[in-house]
Amino acid sequence: MIAHKMLKYVEGSSVTRAMFEEGKRLAGLYGAENVFDFSLGNPSVEPPAEVKENIIKVLKEEAPNKIHGYMNNAGFEEVREAIALSLNQNFGTRFSGKNIIMTVGAAGGLNVILKTLLDPGDEVIAFAPYFGEYNNYVANYDGVMVAVPPSIPDFQPDLNRLGQMVTARTKAVIVNTPNNPTGVVYSEETIQRLAAILEEKQKEYGTAIYLIADEPYRELVYDGIQVPYLTKYYANTIVGYSYSKSLSLPGERIGYLVIPDEADDFENVLNAATIATRILGFVNAPSLQQLTVAKCLGAATDISVYDANRKLLYGKLQELGFECAKPQGAFYMWVKALEEDDSAFAAKAKEFNLLLVPGSSFACPGYVRIAYCVDPAMIRRSFGAFEKLAESYQSGK
C-alpha cells in the first residue's frame, strides 16, 4: 500500500504528461503527420555545438576520479566561481563562488530552497497562472500554496492583490519571468513595485519574506526585451536557474541557486541548502554536466527558431480571431479558450488532433497553453485544425 499522501498524485498524475502519452496514442492511430502536439515544453532546438564538444573535452581532459567521484554537496568550487564571475559580468552583481549551489535543474533547486525555508504551515505565494509543479514542491515540505488571481489581460502580477494576501506566515513569493505559461516578461516597474511591497510587509510583520526567482527561461526573450536581475531590486532574493531551456539540456538535469550575501540569515540559508541538496538524495548536481556548463557560459541555443515559430503561430491565431497576448519570452502562447471550461475546450481541440494544455493546470481556468517549441512544419500543418476548432464554435458544432 502506497502512502496516502501519494494517492492524489497517482490519481491526478500531471495533465501535461498525460497529454504527451495521448499524443503518442493519436500518432499511432492517425499517423504522426496528422497529430499536432503542443503540450510539452521540451526544447526543439538542439543544444549548441559547444555543449557536445565540451562534454567530450571534459571526459578526455579531466581526471576520472574528479569527473566520477563524490564532491562538495554544493558543487565544484571552480564551476561555482566561474558562474559567479559570469553573472557579475552580465548583471553587475558581486557574487562569488560561495553564493552558488549547483542543483539538479530548476526543479531540484526549487525543492532545495523550499526544504531550506519552509516550516509546516508556512505560506508561499505565486501569481496565477503559474507552473503547476509549484503546488507539489510546496506540499513536499507541508507549506501552503497561495495563488494571487491573474491580472487579465496583461498577465503582469497583480500587486494590489499581493499586498492584501501577504500574511505573517508568508515565507516566500515565487516569480517566474519570462513566464511559463504566458510568455510574459515582468517589467522593471513591476519588479520595483513588487520589491517595495515586500520590503514594507517585512517591516510590518517583522518577518523575512524571500523572493524566489525561478528563471529557466531568462535567455529566451524576443525583440531585444530586457529581463531585470531580481537580486538588484530586492535584497532578500534567491535565484533558481536552469540550463534545461537555455542550452536545451532538460535531460541533463543541471542548474544552480544563487543565494546572495544580502539574503536574510545568509550563512544558515546557505548551509541548510547545501545540506538539503544532500538529504533530499541528490547529494550533488551531476558532475560531468557541472564541468560542461562551466565551459559553455557564453553559449546559447538558437532562439531565432522559437521567435519564427512565435510569429508564425501568433499571426495565424490572430487571423482566426483567438485572443492571446503576444509572448515576449519563453516558448509558450497563452490563449483564451472559446468556452468557459478550459478542459472541455482542450477536449474539443483534441477532436482535431490538437493537443493543448488546459489553463487549470496553471491555476488559471478559461485559457489553454500552447508550447511552440516544436517543428515549424508541424505548426503549418496544424493551421487547418485550428481553423476547424474556431469554426466549430462559430457554428455551434
Instruction: Give the shortest CB-388-to-ligand PLP separation in angstroms.
Output: 29
DSSP-assigned beta bridge partners for residue 354 = 36
Instruction: Give the shortest CB-84-to-ligand PLP separation in angstroms.
Output: 19
Which CB atom, from 36 or from 131, has the smaller least distance to ligand PLP? 131
Please tell me the number of Cα atoms within 13 Å of 135 on its side-chain side. Answer: 15
The full DSSP string for 76-120 is -HHHHHHHHHHHHHHH-----GGGEEEESHHHHHHHHHHHHHPPT
DSSP-assigned beta bridge partners for residue 355 = 37
CA distances from 380 to 230, 309, 310, 316, 372 (A): 38, 10, 12, 9, 12
Instruction: Give the shortest CB-289-to-ligand PLP separation in angstroms.
Output: 12
Which CB atom, from 332 or from 345, has the smaller least distance to ligand PLP? 332
* Residues in 241-260 that interact with ligand PLP by CB under 6 A: 242, 244, 250, 255
Instruction: Give the shortest CB-150-to-ligand PLP separation in angstroms.
Output: 16
Which of 53, 68, 60 has the alpha carbon at shortest distance from 287?
68
Q: In this structure, how many other beta carbons lie within 10 angstroms of the beta carbon of residue 155?
A: 21
Task: Pick from 41, 47, 143, 150 the residue near ligand PLP by CB under 6 A.
Answer: 41
Rounded Cα–Cα distance for residues 268 and 201 (Å)? 22
Residue 45 has phi, psi (to 5 degrees) of: -90, 135
- Binding track over 193-232 against ligand PLP, x by CB under 6 A: ---------------------x-x----------------
Instruction: Give the shortest CB-209-to-ligand PLP separation in angstroms.
Output: 20
Instruction: Give the shortest CB-41-to-ligand PLP separation in angstroms.
Output: 5
Which CB atom, from 245 or from 348, has the smaller least distance to ligand PLP? 245
C-alpha torsion angle, residues 341, 347, 353, 354 (rounded to 10): 30
Which CB atom, from 346 or from 371, has the smaller least distance to ligand PLP? 371
Nine cell digits for residue 18: 498525460
Which CB atom, from 303 or from 389, has the smaller least distance to ligand PLP? 303
The full DSSP string for 327-379 is P-BTTEEEEE-SSS-HHHHHHHHHHTTEE-EEGGGGT-TTEEEEE--S-HHHH
Rounded Cα–Cα distance for residues 103 and 254 (Å)? 6
- Binding track over 76-115 against ligand PLP, x by CB under 6 A: -----------------------------xxx--------
Which CB atom, from 131 or from 386, has the smaller least distance to ligand PLP? 131
Instruction: Give the shortest CB-216-to-ligand PLP separation in angstroms.
Output: 5
Rounded Cα–Cα distance for residues 73 and 217 (Å)? 25
Element (H, E) at 173: strand 170-175
Which CB atom, from 257 or from 338, has the smaller least distance to ligand PLP? 257
Task: Pick from 76, 131, 229, 234 the residue near ligand PLP by CB under 6 A.
Answer: 131
* Residues in 148-187 that interact with ligand PLP by CB under 6 A: 176, 180
Rounded Cα–Cα distance for residues 265 and 279 (Å)? 21
Instruction: Give the shortest CB-9-to-ligand PLP separation in angstroms.
Output: 17
Instruction: Give the shortest CB-241-to-ligand PLP separation in angstroms.
Output: 9
Which CB atom, from 17 or from 311, has the smaller least distance to ligand PLP? 17
Which chain residues interact with ligand PLP by CB under 6 A? 41, 105-107, 131, 176, 180, 214, 216, 242, 244, 250, 255
